[in-house]
Amino acid sequence: MPAGLSRLRILVSLILLGALVAGPVYGSSVINTVHNLSAAGPGTIKAVSATDACVFCHTAHHATGASPLWNHQMSSVSNYVVYTSARMTSLGVTIPQPNGSSRLCLSCHDGTVALGEVSSGRIITMQNGVTTMPTGTANLGTDLSKDHPISFNYDATLAGHDADINSPTLPAVKALLDHESRVQCTSCHDPHNNANGNFLVMDNTASKLCLTCHAPGSWASSAHAMSAAPVPAVITSKLASKAVSKAVVAKVTAATMAAVGCANCHANHQSGGGQILLQDSTLEQNCLVCHNGLTAKKNVASDFQKPSIHPITLNSAAHTATEDPINPKERHVVCADCHNPHATTTATATAPNVSGAISLVTGITAAGGVIKPAMREYEVCFRCHADSTARGPATVARQFAQTNTRLQFSTANQSFHPVEAAGRNTASVPSLVAPWTVSSVTYCTDCHNSDQGPKAGGSGASGPHGSIYAPILERNLVVTDNQSESPSTYALCYKCHSRNSILADQSFRYHRVHVVDKQTACTTCHDSHGVANAPHLINFNTSYVTPSSNGRLEYLSTGKYKGTCSLTCHGVDHKAKSY
């Protein structure tokens, strides 16, 4: 025997002996995973007598022709239902039928081919009458529309069109793609190695694997990415049901929101909603499962049970990430219209700037242009309450009808509440309650907010999610006449305007007569958003106010705290009445 060959045999023998002494390295070996379908395999699905763990996928002889030396019969399915989304379409990406290594995985995992059907010999019989992959999380079926897309090209063209993914030239990304730069099952899963759980190619704690390719917004500094709150039981139950080892179940059950990361909301396989692979098919439930006062301290879910709400359940299925931000095909509102879950933070701000809760969302500027991200809170509100053609009717019938809030708050108007900028009446507004001054700027949410939120003096969630007072008002505001005046009747107005000052007639000599004696609502004379051609927010409620006998319906300012009215109200004719 040649000396070289003898030395080689001795070396191989020593290696094998060392392996036997040390025992198998189960963390990096297929032998101790559920992919070992031999009779000695650790899983519940295994052969009756076959002892070769590799033969179910590979063979040295009589392979199917697929690489690497593939032994399992391929699926004959040619019309898988593949993933689609408006976002992928907008990027010019069409998901093809599965190809490459993904076809190899699907030869078992689509559930159409017997697990023991190999090309190198007879069909291997499985225990307990099992033939094809049993129904469950491992059986993906032929409908892949709710699974992460596969077999598409992840190239420079795609990266150039999508700011939320990393460049395929990065070594970490490139290592996950196949030789043709395609995303495959093997981009995320190593079928031979379950050391990271669920056969992942790397540890996915805090979504490390997801973030190799995905770069959503300001995720790393977002409140969701840093949350130490425990994962709600409904989510851990879903994650545990898809785990392939007890270690993974234990890990997800004890995990924090930060550790679970993307999987709090998204599911790579068998998701609830196909569009963006959400855990739940009902969009808002992916948010309210946490924002219910248990996982998140503030109970947003309870606000949506109130009489006046943002209708997040109405037409929510029509929402897409690529829709027209002003006039989508079907009018709707969802949580993601106002909140970017990949960027939201707990940062506070001062009016009119956006707070961390609504950072990096799309808005509409005071000039009517689309801005992303919105820089001011009102820009987020203008998205639906300005130029939208389906914005709905006014709460109060007005002399000057206007429901476009962008135009109502315009600083070119004769009067407006100071949402975009400080108001016009800089000389004196004696009723203002500190800390408000004539230089103050307000948020839309200073009026439209939860009746139990901090601005209302409560401990509930902030934001215009819902209120017992319509239209999502923080405090009560009666808009009908013939109501007794009280601190609660006009509580919203009295939040900023002193009741004592108003009823003492400090700015208008007939305030008390109108509000207390005649029981005239604040909104019968004033339009709280703004009026293009009238000072002091005068815009009469035409349900109660009609023209005077002189044929005019008007208010004219004649100086500080002075004016003239021509109108008929409650049967009383004010014919150019001065004060």
From 90, 89, 91, 57, select the one nearest 72 (Cα to Cα).
57
Tell me what pLDDT residue 245 has.
80
CB contact at 8 A, 383 and 325 = yes
Tell me what pLDDT residue 247 has.
82
CB contact at 8 A, 144 and 82 = yes
CA distances from 261 to 35, 120, 176, 185, 360 (A): 27, 43, 20, 21, 19
Distance in angstroms (rounded) separating the CA atoms of residues 35 and 297: 42
CB contact at 8 A, 371 and 352 = no
Tell me what pLDDT residue 15 has.
33
Tell me what pLDDT residue 266 has.
96
Residue 186: half-sphere exposure toward Cβ, Cα within 13 Å: 17
Q: Would you list the domain boundaries of the chain?
A: 300-542, 547-579
Cross-strand bridge partners of residue 556? 564
Distance in angstroms (rounded) separating the CA atoms of residues 176 and 187: 4
Q: What is the mean pLDDT of each run of 10 residues along the chain (579 residues)?
A: 41 35 52 96 96 95 89 96 92 95 98 96 94 96 97 94 94 97 98 95 97 94 96 93 85 92 96 89 94 95 98 92 93 96 97 97 98 98 96 94 98 97 90 96 98 97 98 98 98 98 96 97 98 97 98 95 95 94
Is the pTM of the predicted complex or chain greater than 0.85? yes
Secondary structure (3-state) at 81: strand
What's the helix, strand, coil split of the chain in %, to 5? 25, 10, 60
Return the residue matching tokens 């339009």: 527
At 531, give phi and psi (nearest 5°): -135, 130
CB within 8 Å of 250: residues ≥ 6 apart:
none
Return the residue matching tokens 């949580």: 335
Largest CA distance in the chain: 126
From 47, 29, 30, select the one nearest 38 (Cα to Cα).
47
CA distances from 515 to 319, 481, 485, 502 (A): 44, 9, 6, 9
Cross-strand bridge partners of residue 309? 466
CA dihedral 449, 453, 456, 457 (to 10 degrees): -170
Residue 470 token pair: 């319509």
Tell me what pLDDT residue 28 has.
67
> CA angle, 395 as apex, 391 and 401 as ends, to 5°?
75
Q: Is the peptide bond before 96 cis (omega within 30 degrees of 0)?
A: no
CA dihedral 434, 439, 441, 442 (to 10 degrees): 30
